[in-house]
Amino acid sequence: MPGSNQKFAPLTKLTDDEQMLKDAAAEFADTVIQPKVYEMEETAKLDPELIRMFFEMGFMGIEIPEKYEGAGGSFFMSIVAIEQISRVDASVGVFMDVQNTLVNNAFLNWGSEEVNERFLPQLATEKVGAYCLSEAGSGSDAFSLKCSAKEDGNAYILNGAKLWITNAAEADIFLVFANINPEAGYRGITCFVVERGMDGFSVSKKENKLGIRASSTCELLLEDVRVPKENILGEAGNGYKVAIETLNEGRIGIGAQMIGIAQAAYDATLSYTQERKQFGKAISEFQAVQFQLAEMATKLEMARLLVYNAGRIKESGQPFLKEAAMAKYYSAEVAEKLSSMAIDLFGGYGYVKEYPVEKYYRDSKIGKIYEGTSNMQLQTIAKIILKN
């Protein structure tokens, strides 16, 4: 209202705990991860020592309650940490993201006390988790999966294969979605906790990817894997609910990864344009370059606001499906756009691996594909706005 003295905190304002974790994640990324980025990129493998340190820092169990040996933090704390880690290396960012926003959240929302007592302390302190939904013929049509589970006494026998599974090479705990009653369609889908070492379970082909190369993406094979009934997450037949609700949260995590990439591309470009001289002056002094920098800064701020807004709404307990879809869709667009603009402004230097921006461009592309393609996000948004 005109003349009102009421003040509103900006959406990007963090609580003390959120700011503390953000600062810790940023320092860890800059001092510990940054020196390892090139080698991990070249070898397409995460540094095992880095994984150990992630557990020591508490980054792998941010929302897990202290009674399960976790950090006892919030969903939004996970988001700001993922953003800062992804700013330095998106491969490491998604490693942490999958653990927190998919695997841990699935246990917290759907696990029984007995299941959580068994697995959450492991996930908080030493064991990596993987989320296993996709199959060769089941991508955007996620519930057309063919992986089967047949009841056999006090267990289920799982058969099938999973594809594009993030963290598969490092994981010991796998959330595997299989159908116990194909005739019931998606209502037969059930979420099973499969552990590395179970007979008949194996991690197979590792994909050779365009971007996020240090993040493992593998195929899983299940051949008569016997999984006890107590390893069902939630209830038999409600796996589709586990998948839908968990992925909605995961999309905000991917949004955080994308704004981390976009921030890195913007920071690198801002610095470079002030150092690079042509025609006797820094290229940042040319109006055409200034306009591009302004566009980058604006798009980045818009993407961050969408991601933070979705995270805040989720934490408030309100429906956030539309906001999560908007956040993932737009942040992926912005990450790709800003990293492309960065290459343009770096010129020839932007195209070589000696400079970081070509990696940002390659890493950004996956944001429009995994955890729901951009087209699927647009479809979700359209359905919701047309109902109102």
HEC assignment per residue over 272-338 = HHHHCEECCEEHHHCHHHHHHHHHHHHHHHHHHHHHHHHHHHHHHCCCCHHHHHHHHHHHHHHHHHH
Q: Which DSSP letter does residue 106 get? A: H
CATH number at residue 232: 2.40.110.10
Residues 306 and 172 in one domain: no
CATH number at residue 325: 1.20.140.10
8 assigned to some structural domain: no
Residues 149 and 92 in one domain: no
pLDDT over 80 at 190, yes or no = yes
pLDDT band at residue 142 under the 50/70/90 scheme: confident
Choosing from 128, 156, 182, the residue where a domain stops is: 128
The Cα–Cα gap between 76 and 18 comes to 7
Residues 44 and 141 in one domain: no
Which residue range forms the structural domain that includes residue 296? 241-387
End-to-end CA distance of the chain: 28
pTM of the entire predicted model:
0.96
Residues 99 and 221 in one domain: no
Residues 190 and 209 in one domain: yes
Active site residues: 371
pLDDT given for residue 111 in this prediction = 97
Percent of the chain scoring above 90 in pLDDT: 96
pLDDT band at residue 12 under the 50/70/90 scheme: confident
Report the number of distinct structural domains present in the chain.
3
110 assigned to some structural domain: yes
pLDDT over 70 at 3, yes or no = no
Residues 295 and 357 in one domain: yes
180 versus 5: which is more confidently predicted?
180
Residues 107 and 228 in one domain: no
Residues 293 and 383 in one domain: yes
**Exposure string for 347-382, b = 16+ CB within 10 A, e = fewer:** eeebeeeebbbbbbbbbbbbbbebbbbbebbeebbe
Residues 154 and 274 in one domain: no
382 assigned to some structural domain: yes
pLDDT, averaged across the chain: 96
pLDDT given for residue 4 in this prediction = 52
Residues 118 and 136 in one domain: no
Choosing from 75, 99, 128, the residue where a domain stops is: 128
Tokens of 188: 């037969």
pLDDT band at residue 6 under the 50/70/90 scheme: low
6 assigned to some structural domain: no
1 assigned to some structural domain: no
pLDDT over 60 at 37, yes or no = yes
The Cα–Cα gap between 61 and 73 comes to 8
Helices (H), 7-158: 16-28, 37-43, 48-56, 75-88, 90-97, 105-110, 113-125
Residues 88 and 150 in one domain: no
